[in-house]
Amino acid sequence: MPTKSTRNIALRLGAVAVGMFGFGFALVPLYDVMCKVLGISRETIVTQSQLDPDAAQADMSRTVTMQFLANKNDGMAWEFRPSQFEMDVNPGAMNNTTFYVRNPAHRAMIAQAVPSVSPPEAAPFLHKTECFCFRQQTLAGGEALDMPLQFVVDQALPKKIRTITLSYTLFDVTTMAAAPDQRVGFRN
């Protein structure tokens, strides 16, 4: 039998190991927290920015070029493109645009768009008040749609940033949404 003190050491170290296993999982929320603290806006599909009323005063003396990109994840069959590739906006002013999607398949499919902003420093200053990326999109076979996007560029946007690129990647989540135990996009 190990001595009492050996048993104590073993139990404590075992507890550390269990704790570190938990820490591995804690890294998942920590990752989001760290990104926020460090000012790296890691946009997730649920992000809906709170708009500061002061920022909503349009600054007509300054324009920022917004560029829109539409990407499809590997194997995604939908047509997906911005209806407008570029627009000049005034910080503080509300802007509207749309992205066009069409499902060419013969069956209904569900898609999820994931945004990304470049340069990353601009991300905290881009407020999306309405976005198709906030929820999954279901289209019947052959159906097409102009998906709305409404956003404001914050007045506090650093002066050196003149162009912001907003890129969306469209993922096919049909199997994931239908049967959660199915592997996404798994092809053998």
Partner 1 sequence: MGADHHGPAKGLTRWLFTTNHKDIGSMYLWFSFAMFLLGGSFALVIRSELFQPGLQLVRPEFFNQMTTMHGLVMVFGAIMPAWVGLANWMVPLMIGAPDMALPRMNNWSFWILPFAFTMLSLTFFMDGGAPNFGWTFYAPLSTTYAPPSVTYFIFAVHLMGMSSIMGSINIIATIMNMRAPGMTYMKMPMFVWTWFITAFLLIAVMPVLAGAVTMMLFDIHFGTSFFSAAGGGDPVLFQHVFWFFGHPEVYIMILPAFGVVSEVLPTFSRKPLFGYSSMVYATASIAFLSFVVWAHHMYTVGMPIAGELFFMYATMLIAVPTGVKVFNWISTMFRGSMTFETPMLFAIAFIILFTIGGLSGVMLSLAPLDFQYQDTYFVVAHFHYVLVQGALFSIYCGVYYWLPKWTGHMYDETLAKTHFWMTFIGVNTAFFPMHFVGLAGMPRRIPDYSLQFADFNMLSSIGAFITGFSQLIFVVVLLKCIKGGKSATDQVWDGAQGLEWTVPSPAPYHTFTIPPQVR
- Six token digits for residue 83: 């209806």
- Residue bearing tokens 């162009």: 163
- C-alpha triplet 59, 65, 69: angle, nearest 5°: 135
10 belongs to the binding site for partner 1 (CB under 8 A):
yes
- Closer residue to partner 1 (CB): 158 or 180: 180
180 belongs to the binding site for partner 1 (CB under 8 A):
yes
Q: What is the C-alpha separation between 158 and 68, in angstroms, rounded?
A: 20
- Closer residue to partner 1 (CB): 43 or 89: 43
172 belongs to the binding site for partner 1 (CB under 8 A):
yes
Q: What is the C-alpha separation between 55 and 92, in angstroms, rounded?
A: 5
Among 77, 108, 114, 145, binds partner 1 (CB under 8 A): 114
Q: Are 152 and 124 in contact (CB under 8 A)?
A: no
Binding stretches for partner 1 (CB under 8 A): 2-3, 5-6, 9-10, 13-14, 16-25, 27-28, 31, 38-40, 42, 44-46, 73, 112, 114, 120-121, 169, 171-173, 176, 179-186, 188
